[in-house]
Structure 1
Amino acid sequence: MNTLAQLKAGQLAGATRLDLTCGLTEFPREIFELADSLEILNLSGNALSSLPTDLHRLKHLRVLFCSENAFTELPECLGRCAKLSMIAFRVNKISHVPAAALPPQLRWLILTDNCISQLPDELGQRPLLQKLMLAGNQLTGLPQSLAQCKNLELIRIASNRFTQLPQWLLTLPSLTWLAYAGNPVEMAVEVKGDDATPNIPWPELELGEVLGEGASGIIHKAWWKPQALPVAVKLYKGTITSDGSPLHEMQACIAAGLHPNLIKVQGRVVGHPDDRAALVMDLIDPSYRNLAALPSMASCTRDIYEHGTRFSLDVAMRMVRGIASVAAHLHRQGITHGDLYGHNILWNTAGDCLLGDFGAASFHATTDSLETRALQRIEVRAFGVLLGELLERVEASNETLRALQQRCSQPDMLARPSFEEIEALLKSMQHH
Structure 2
Amino acid sequence: MHTLDQLRSGQLKGITRLDLSASLERFPEEIFTLADSLEVLNLSGNQLSDLPEDLHRLHRLQVLFCSENQFEHVPESVGRCEALRMVGFKSNRIRELSAKALPPRLRWLILTDNCMQTLPDELGACTDLQKLMLAGNRLRELPATLAHLEKLELLRIAANQLPALPDFLLQLPSLAWLAHGGNPLDADAPASRTPDVRWADLQIGEVLGQGASGIIHRADWQRPDGQREAVALKLFKGQMTSDGTPQSEMAACLTVGQHPNLIGAIGRVVEHPQGEQGLLLSLVEPRFSILAGPPSLQSCSRDSYPSEWRLPFAQALRVASGIASALRHLHARGVTHGDLYGHNILIDTAGKALLGDFGAASFLPAAAPSQHGLLQRIEVRAFGILLEELLQRCEVPAEHVAQLAELVRRCQQPPVSARPDFSEIDAALAGLL
Question: Do these two structures clear the TM 0.5 threshold for a shared fold by scoring above it?
Answer: yes
Residue 199 in 1 paired to residue 196 in 2?
A: yes
Question: Which among 206, 210, 214 is matched to residue 209 of structure 1?
Answer: 206
Q: Is the 8 A contact 1:339 1:358 kept in 2?
A: yes
Alignment of 1:330-369 (within 5 A): 330-365=330-365, 369=369
1:392 maps to 392
Question: What SS does the corresponding residue of 1:266 show, helix, strand or coil?
Answer: strand
1:293 maps to 293
Question: What SS does the corresponding residue of 1:389 show, helix, strand or coil?
Answer: helix
Offset, 1:264? 2.2
| 1:95-126 deviations in Å (ceiling 9; x for gaps) | 01110000001000000000001111111111
Q: Is the 8 A contact 1:332 1:366 kept in 2?
A: no
1:116 maps to 116
Q: Is the 8 A contact 1:79 1:101 kept in 2?
A: yes
Question: What SS does the corresponding residue of 1:274 show, helix, strand or coil?
Answer: coil
How far apart, CA to CA, are the structure 2 residues paired with 1:52 and 1:368?
A: 46
Deviates more, 1:260-269 or 1:109-118: 260-269
Alignment of 1:40-55 (within 5 A): 40-55=40-55
Offset, 1:365? 4.5
Q: Is the 8 A contact 1:217 1:246 kept in 2?
A: no
How far apart, CA to CA, are the structure 2 residues paired with 1:368 and 1:318?
A: 34
Any gaps of 5 or more consecutive residues in structure 1?
Answer: none
Offset, 1:250? 0.9
Alignment of 1:125-164 (within 5 A): 125-164=125-164
Offset, 1:367? 9.5
Offset, 1:167? 1.2
Q: Is the 8 A contact 2:189 2:366 kept in 1?
A: no
| 1:210-236 deviations in Å (ceiling 9; x for gaps) | 001112211100112442221111112
2:221 maps to 224
Alignment of 1:228-307 (within 5 A): 228-307=228-307
1:412 maps to 415
Matched letter for residue 415 of structure 1 = A
Residue 63 in 1 paired to residue 63 in 2?
A: yes
Q: Is the 8 A contact 2:177 2:382 kept in 1?
A: yes
Matched letter for residue 189 of structure 2 = E
Matched letter for residue 416 of structure 1 = R
Deviates more, 1:247-256 or 1:51-60: 247-256
Matched letter for residue 136 of structure 1 = G
Alpha carbons of 1:368 and 1:121: their partners in 2 closer, same or farther (altered >3 Å)?
Answer: closer
Matched letter for residue 135 of structure 2 = A
How far apart, CA to CA, are the structure 1 residues paired with 2:42 and 2:7?
A: 14
How far apart, CA to CA, are the structure 2 residues paired with 1:399 and 1:240?
A: 44
Offset, 1:256? 1.0
Question: What SS does the corresponding residue of 2:41 show, helix, strand or coil?
Answer: strand
How far apart, CA to CA, are the structure 2 residues paired with 1:334 and 1:241?
A: 22
Question: What SS does the corresponding residue of 1:113 show, helix, strand or coil?
Answer: coil
Q: Is the 8 A contact 1:346 1:355 kept in 2?
A: yes
Alpha carbons of 1:262 and 1:366: their partners in 2 closer, same or farther (altered >3 Å)?
Answer: farther
Residue 422 in 1 paired to residue 421 in 2?
A: no
How far apart, CA to CA, are the structure 2 residues paired with 1:353 and 1:140?
A: 38
Offset, 1:366? 7.0
1:190 maps to 189
Q: Is the 8 A contact 1:333 1:366 kept in 2?
A: no
Alpha carbons of 1:70 and 1:365: their partners in 2 closer, same or farther (altered >3 Å)?
Answer: closer
Matched letter for residue 206 of structure 1 = Q
Report the aligned-residue RMSD: 1.3
Alpha carbons of 1:364 and 1:19: their partners in 2 closer, same or farther (altered >3 Å)?
Answer: same
Deviates more, 1:267-276 or 1:46-55: 267-276
How far apart, CA to CA, are the structure 2 residues paired with 1:148 and 1:181?
A: 24
Q: Is the 8 A contact 2:249 2:358 kept in 1?
A: yes
Alignment of 1:168-187 (within 5 A): 168-187=168-187
Question: What SS does the corresponding residue of 1:267 show, helix, strand or coil?
Answer: strand
Alpha carbons of 1:86 and 1:125: their partners in 2 closer, same or farther (altered >3 Å)?
Answer: same
Q: Is the 8 A contact 1:238 1:247 kept in 2?
A: no
How far apart, CA to CA, are the structure 1 residues paired with 2:128 and 2:312?
A: 36
2:405 maps to 402
Sequence identity, in percent? 56
Question: What SS does the corresponding residue of 2:295 show, helix, strand or coil?
Answer: coil
Offset, 1:199? 2.4
Offset, 1:277? 2.0
Deviates more, 1:310-319 or 1:73-82: 310-319
| 1:355-397 deviations in Å (ceiling 9; x for gaps) | 0000000001479943101000000000000000001001125
Question: What SS does the corresponding residue of 2:268 show, helix, strand or coil?
Answer: strand
Question: What SS does the corresponding residue of 1:215 show, helix, strand or coil?
Answer: coil
Matched letter for residue 370 of structure 2 = L
Alpha carbons of 1:367 and 1:167: their partners in 2 closer, same or farther (altered >3 Å)?
Answer: closer
How far apart, CA to CA, are the structure 1 residues paired with 2:62 and 2:269?
A: 44
How far apart, CA to CA, are the structure 2 residues paired with 1:362 and 1:14?
A: 45
1:319 maps to 319
How far apart, CA to CA, are the structure 2 residues paired with 1:38 and 1:412?
A: 40
